[in-house]
Amino acid sequence: MAKYILNSVDETIKLGERLGKSLTEPVIIKLDGEMGAGKTHFTKGLAIGLGVEEEITSPTFSILNIYEGNVMNFFHIDAYRIKNIEEALDAGLAEVFRDDGVVVLEWGDILTTFFENKVIEIKIKYLGDNKREMIIEGWDDDSTRD
Ligand SMILES: Nc1ncnc2c1ncn2[C@@H]1O[C@H](COP(=O)(O)OP(=O)(O)OP(=O)(O)O)[C@@H](O)[C@H]1O
Ligand SMILES: [Mg+2]
């Protein structure tokens, strides 16, 4: 487990970028945090790190957005409106969790039964106007290794 304090939007984006650059295998990144915590900004950084050239937008209504990265595809999922397993299957999410790509999953607690790839868990907490705490589990970050 690693804990980070981010003092600006830029620091949050940079951390996302660093995580994205470090990924060499398919992974599911569970992203938790209240509205306005910074999930989308962190994801923007992650996409940059993966080599996605498109500007990423929130999948609030689309549920699933797909982007092409340098090495792997990038799937951004907002499962807030997915209420049961049937709806998840209809949205094609089971296949996504099995794909050789990187998945960012928001509001996806009911979908864990679909996970086949490795999981990284991230919790973002609001600490103040520009300050956030980020706890990351399952990422072997070079900068925090003893
Ligand atoms: N250190 C920080 N990291 C990330 N965002 C920050 C930070 N400081 C301030 N902010 C602001 O907090 C907001 C975060 O918005 P963002 O859309 O990323 O949140 P979100 O978690 O995706 O919210 P939602 O659940 O509504 O989609 C932005 O307005 C951003 O400018
Ligand atoms: Mg968002």
**Segments making up each domain of the chain, as ranges:** 2-139
- Per-residue model confidence (pLDDT) at position 145: 56
- Per-residue model confidence (pLDDT) at position 10: 98
74 closest CA partner among 36, 113, 48, 42: 48
- Per-residue model confidence (pLDDT) at position 27: 97
CB atoms within 10 A of CB 143: 8
- Per-residue model confidence (pLDDT) at position 72: 96
- Per-residue model confidence (pLDDT) at position 144: 60
Of all protein residues, the one whose alpha carbon is nearest to atom 31 of ligand 1 is: 9
- Superfamily in which the 2-139 domain is placed by CATH: P-loop containing nucleotide triphosphate hydrolases (3.40.50.300)
Phi, psi of 100, rounded to the nearest 5 degrees: -80, 55
Q: How far is the CA of 34 from the centre of ligand 2 (A)?
A: 9
pLDDT averaged per 10 residues in sequence order, the chain, 146 residues: 97 98 96 96 98 95 95 96 94 92 95 92 98 96 67
What type of residue sits at position 74?
F
For the Cβ of 144 lying below 6 angstroms from any atom of ligand 1, the answer is no
CA–CA distance, 47 with 31 (Å, rounded to integer):
14
Phi, psi of 5, rounded to the nearest 5 degrees: -110, 125
Secondary structure class of 29 (helix, strand, coil): strand
